[in-house]
Amino acid sequence: MARQDKATTMRLRALLDTEALGLQLLGGEAELDRPVRGVMTTDLRDPSRYLTGGELVLTGLAWRRTAADSDDFVTLLAAAGVAGLAAGEAELGAIPNDLVAACARHRLPLFAVDERVAFADITEYVVRQVSGERAGDLAAVVERHRRLMSSGPAGGGPDAVLDLLGTDLDLRAWVLSSTGREIGGAGHPLPAPVRAELAGAQQAAARTARPGPYRIAVQGRTYSLFPVRAGAGGADVRSRVLSDWFLAVEADAGEWPAERLDLLQGVTQLIAVERDRRDAARAVRRRLAGEVFDLVRGGAAPAEVGARLRAAAPVLVPGAGGEPHWQIVIAKVEWAGGEVPAGPAAQALLEEVLADRAAQGGDGTDRIAVAHVEDKAMALVPLTAGAPVPGSGADAWSGPGPGMTGAAPEPLHAEALLGLLRGPLSRGLGDDGRLTVGVSAAVHSPEGLRGALEEARHARRVAAARPGRVCVAGHEELASHVLLLPFVPDDVRRAFTARLLDPLRAYDRRHRSELIPTLEAFLDCDGSWTRCASRLHLHVNTLRYRISRIEQLTGRDLARLEDKLDFFLALRMS
């Protein structure tokens, strides 16, 4: 079943005036001046729930089993106030007399659709007539909304104008952030993987400086992406590509007339007004975060930091009972050449990506405070007991398991944060940008904030030492060898791994053997012969032969802890 554009002054008789449609009127000539406000294709026995009045209904008659079904079907259409009925001849051949009689009783115009004419052709014709005349009216409505939003608080935010697109042009549209967070949508949530793919496509297209809209096919559907520019923006697209919003419309705008494209550009300007307003509202939280971080970085007494947090609580955690736990997230964006200021972009990016974790209601960021300190962004993230936390999917913060319950808030995990950032942002960073993020442990008192700040700093340095465009490290990695390995100089790393592993690699190449995988499995099984042999599907004697060969080639003894540790580190650094 498909439903298309709604409301205009098109008349039924226009269908007969269009020879290409090949429609034959079977009854209702006196009703041909009825206005057509939309078109709907259905074979449901009762489609009334999807009708609002004024539609031309197209049907293939699959609902008809007996002659009595015709009167039931037409009664429902007449009660819904449809403009007319067009029945296809492909299913039954000639249109049944019982359907003709039922339409006559209810004064419902009836058309026969030749089996050589596709319903899609009729639908396209009606949509073109309806939407073309409606666009001017909608443009006036959008302009009125723009004036209202520019002069005062928004009535409904982006959702209000998206509702206009849905009801007046039957366009499904969403406002998305650079990370794929849904900021506004007209009642049809997009799956997280689709949102992430659209966000990546938007950033990749923006880096090419091509004018929008950008078109992309995702999971068999075509979307047109319109950039939303808030404020003056920067001359270099890199200053905003990681934090821009965009409008995603489920349609192919490639063949739209100029009037409709202008209308959608007007919609993006309207959304930009809302973005500017939200940025202004964030100023208070940004200032509070700056004050807290200044105290913590300056070594202020915990009592002073606690007093500042209590004063900020009504803004950061409105309505929360008890003392919240806190986490600190630090992010840095780096561009080749260093000529693009990266701190503000990192600040806006953290506000967007951490918003998915914010309390329900508001704009999704009313509990996130992010300061711009030197060339980095520092976020103060409150964790309150009992707050809902997503527990699965691409939007998950807390990893596997249920959401938080009881008194212990569920902390933000680096791995889940990396999952949200890497897909969309890698394409925006391109070949000349990097994003590194560090996440602290959760602390339950102001006394712990200084340690959390240091943890986040060190974690970000660990992330920065790794390869890749988007890297995130968490506090849990600071208590393991993972903390040390990234800081081993490259020449030392190469010499150490070459001495231990190059003889094994050369042997594997010459003999097409698997000494390196065998070594990895042996260490992973803690040196257990039986477990390792079972994992590799080998006889224990074969495994013993391979380990003996490794020891002969390297001069090491895998029964000694020191040699096992050296091999373990060499494999991790290779």
Would you give the distance in Å from CA 133 to the centre of its chain? Answer: 34
Indicate the pairing of strand 84-88 with strand 55-59: parallel
Contact residues for 135 (Cβ-Cβ < 8 A; gap 6+) = 169, 259, 260, 263
Is residue 541 exposed (0-12), middle (13-18) or buried (19+ Cβ within 10 Å)?
Answer: exposed
Q: Which residue has tokens 């004024």?
A: 54
Predicted local distance difference test score (pLDDT) of residue 504: 94
* Cα–Cα dist 26/24, whole Å: 6
- Classify residue 384 by its DSSP letter: -
Length of the chain: 574
* Cα–Cα dist 419/478, whole Å: 20
DSSP 5-69: -----EETHHHHT-GGG-EEEEE-GGGTT-EE-EEEE---S--GGG--SSEEEEE-STT-SSHHH
At residue 225, what is the residue type?
L
* Cα–Cα dist 355/179, whole Å: 10
> pTM above the 0.85 mark?
no
Q: Which residue has tokens 């042999």?
A: 533
Q: What is the pLDDT along the chain (574 residues), one digit of tens a residue?
A: 544 444 446 789 888 888 888 899 999 999 998 988 888 888 888 888 878 888 899 998 989 989 999 999 999 999 999 999 999 886 667 899 999 999 999 999 999 998 888 888 888 788 777 655 555 555 555 555 554 444 444 445 677 778 777 776 778 899 999 888 888 886 778 898 999 999 999 999 888 877 778 999 998 889 999 998 765 445 678 888 888 899 999 988 887 887 788 788 878 877 887 787 777 778 888 888 888 898 988 888 888 888 888 887 777 776 555 677 889 999 999 888 777 777 778 888 888 888 744 433 344 445 678 998 878 999 988 886 544 433 333 343 333 333 333 445 578 888 888 988 888 898 889 888 899 999 998 888 888 888 888 888 888 888 888 888 999 998 877 755 555 565 567 777 777 888 889 999 999 999 999 999 999 999 988 888 998 999 899 999 999 999 999 999 999 999 888 888 888 888 877 7
Q: Which two tokens stand for residue 273?
A: 């007004």
* Cα–Cα dist 179/184, whole Å: 14
Q: At what angle do helices 540-554 and 529-536 cross, to 10 degrees?
A: 100
DSSP 200-231: HHHHHHHHTTPPSPEEEEETTEEEEEEEE--S
Distance between start and end Cα atoms, the chain:
56
* Cα–Cα dist 218/199, whole Å: 12
Predicted local distance difference test score (pLDDT) of residue 8: 45
